[in-house]
Amino acid sequence: MAKSLGNWTVALDGSATPEKSLIGGKAWSLARMRALGLPVPPAFVVTSRACTHFLQHGAEPPELADELATGIAWLEAQTGRSFGAGTQPLLVSVRSGAAISMPGMMDTVLNLGITDDTEPALAAECGDPAFARDTHRRFLELYASIVLKAPAPELDRAANPAQWRDAIAGAAGAAVPATAVEQLQAAVRAVFDSWNSRRARRYRQHNQIPDDLGTAVTVQAMVFGNLDEASGTGVLFTRNPLDGAPEPYGEYLPRAQGEDVVSGKFTPRPLQEMNQSVPQALQELLAAARTLENEHGDVQDIEFTVERGKLWLLQSRAAKRAAPAALRIAVDLVGEQRIDIATALTRVTPEQLAALMNPRLQQQAEISALTQGEAACPGVGIGIGVADSDEAERRAAAGEDVVLMRPTTSPEDLHGMIAAKAIVTEQGGSTSHAAVVSRSLGRPCVVGCGAGSLSTLVGQIVTVCGSSGRVFAGALPVIRPDENSDPQLAQFMAWQRAAPKAENPHA
């Protein structure tokens, strides 16, 4: 067992890796990475048992407040920083983490620990008051929306923290607590609550995940991708999650935090652009990616931050992948002797296998596209453009084929994404929420078409090609693929036919 902090919390000190069912997939990956000697910010975990207690009793365990204090004291000792006070303030992230990956379905609060007292200390330490003020604003925006459930717009960057808190109190009908300790306790409760959010319930229902697992909560020392020009954040896939090509694939956003990438509000840059500003961090990242893929025997989705040129790994998990990628990766890993055939058969789901036989466009080279963005999940979807997720769900239930068109998607759009034949966004890249969730759902997806590019397409029948990143007018003719025309598909189907029923998830 890792270092126990009490009945409900565990410190990830690298001594052991607790079960995923107890600490969740996110914390489990942190424990494994720390044990492998990879750079991971220190963290402790509120276990899923505490969440189960909360869901059953409507309140957290009575000992949890003291155990959170013990966990914070451990983080302070690990980092040499002080929570809520001092000349070197400790800021933390509070992140959900279920045993089974549910990307974007539950809540996260970043930069917790910044207050009116710690903002000046952070500014003095880093020599950049603008960074400290920006970090304070980011925290208050997340805390207001996630913990206080405030329908507040983005905070005015020209205002000061007192004005921001007044605006939040007016929108939420409740004030942001004055102390970092109170904020932490409330953030943990909010993450527990997010287990039963509408989007999380719908995701579990769609993916047949049990409702009684609960989520762990990881409390981790913050590292800052928004600190300076040698800082940034990104996502790396050890292989291409769209087509399975065996090269690293990812995106990087300089001077940013992780929420900036996932939200889709910003379009990141190709991973190789790290060579221009943080080349050493890129080389260390690629080496870590090889280590993690070898360790897990599967394609990894790695979240990372660079702070003043230093690489930090925040999560590694089995990557969500499109159907063509799932097929190629499974066949390639058998050829590389990383996995056996029985394991390969479990790496392509029955839904993905069916998607590989879905129709494809008969031709598109000669046809002018209405708009074009980045291919985020291959396939073809045909339907009427709809801009609202509730409307998409309602019209799909009435028998219409719809294409969801959004500036960017958030977890609140999950029901519309499930209902749609395809998803198209104006903003975001191939590691944004829209892209990642589309791949997990198997929906064709095009992202980053440009601000305002979709407004005239709402109400039109369109054909979305997620392989080329193009959207066409009308319903274009399609053809059905032939199993024998794809050597990898033919190989996989041969394995499937030859496998004993007990080893064949497709039987």
Quick one: pLDDT band at residue 15, thresholds 50, 70, 90? confident
Residue 133 confidence (pLDDT):
96
pLDDT at 127 over 90: yes
Distance separating alpha carbons of residues 441 and 425, to the nearest angstrom: 16
Residue 105 confidence (pLDDT):
66
Q: Is 112 helix (H, G, I), strand (E, B) or coil?
A: strand
pLDDT at 152 over 90: no
The whole-chain average pLDDT of the chain stands at: 91
**Does the pTM of the predicted model rise above 0.95?**
no
Chain-centre distance for alpha carbon 350:
24
Quick one: pLDDT band at residue 190, thresholds 50, 70, 90? very high
Residue 57 confidence (pLDDT):
93
Sign of CA dihedral 19, 20, 22, 28: positive
Note the pLDDT tens digit of each residue in 218-239.
Answer: 999 999 999 999 999 999 999 9
Distance separating alpha carbons of residues 122 and 504, to the nearest angstrom: 56
Task: Name which of 96-110, 230-244, 454-468 the model is least confident about.
Answer: 96-110
Task: Delimit the domains of the chain by residue range.
Answer: 1-222, 323-356+482-503, 360-476
Q: Is 385 helix (H, G, I), strand (E, B) or coil?
A: strand
Note the pLDDT tens digit of each residue in 273-317.
Answer: 999 999 999 999 999 999 999 999 999 999 999 999 999 999 999
- How many other β-carbons are positioned within 10 Å of the β-carbon of residue 340? 11
Note the pLDDT tens digit of each residue in 406-431.
Answer: 999 988 899 999 999 999 999 988 88
Q: Can you tell me which residue has the tokens 């396939």?
A: 379
Distance separating alpha carbons of residues 145 and 484, to the nearest angstrom: 51
Note the pLDDT tens digit of each residue in 329-386.
Answer: 999 999 999 999 999 999 999 889 888 887 788 766 578 899 999 999 988 999 999 9
Candidates 3.40.630.70, 2.102.10.10, 3.40.50.10160, 3.50.30.10; correct CATH number of 360-476?
A: 3.50.30.10
Q: What is the CATH number that goes with domain 1-222?
A: 3.30.1490.20
- Paired residues of 92 in beta bridges: 112, 221
From residue 237, give the alpha-carbon distance in Å to each of 10, 249, 264.
Answer: 29, 5, 17
pLDDT at 458 over 90: yes
Distance separating alpha carbons of residues 377 and 463, to the nearest angstrom: 14
Quick one: pLDDT band at residue 102, thresholds 50, 70, 90? confident
Residue 417 confidence (pLDDT):
95
Give whichever of 198-207, 349-358, 420-429, 433-442 has the largest mean pLDDT.
420-429
Quick one: pLDDT band at residue 213, thresholds 50, 70, 90? confident
Query: Would strands 422-425 and 374-377 be described as parallel, antiparallel, or unpaired?
Result: unpaired
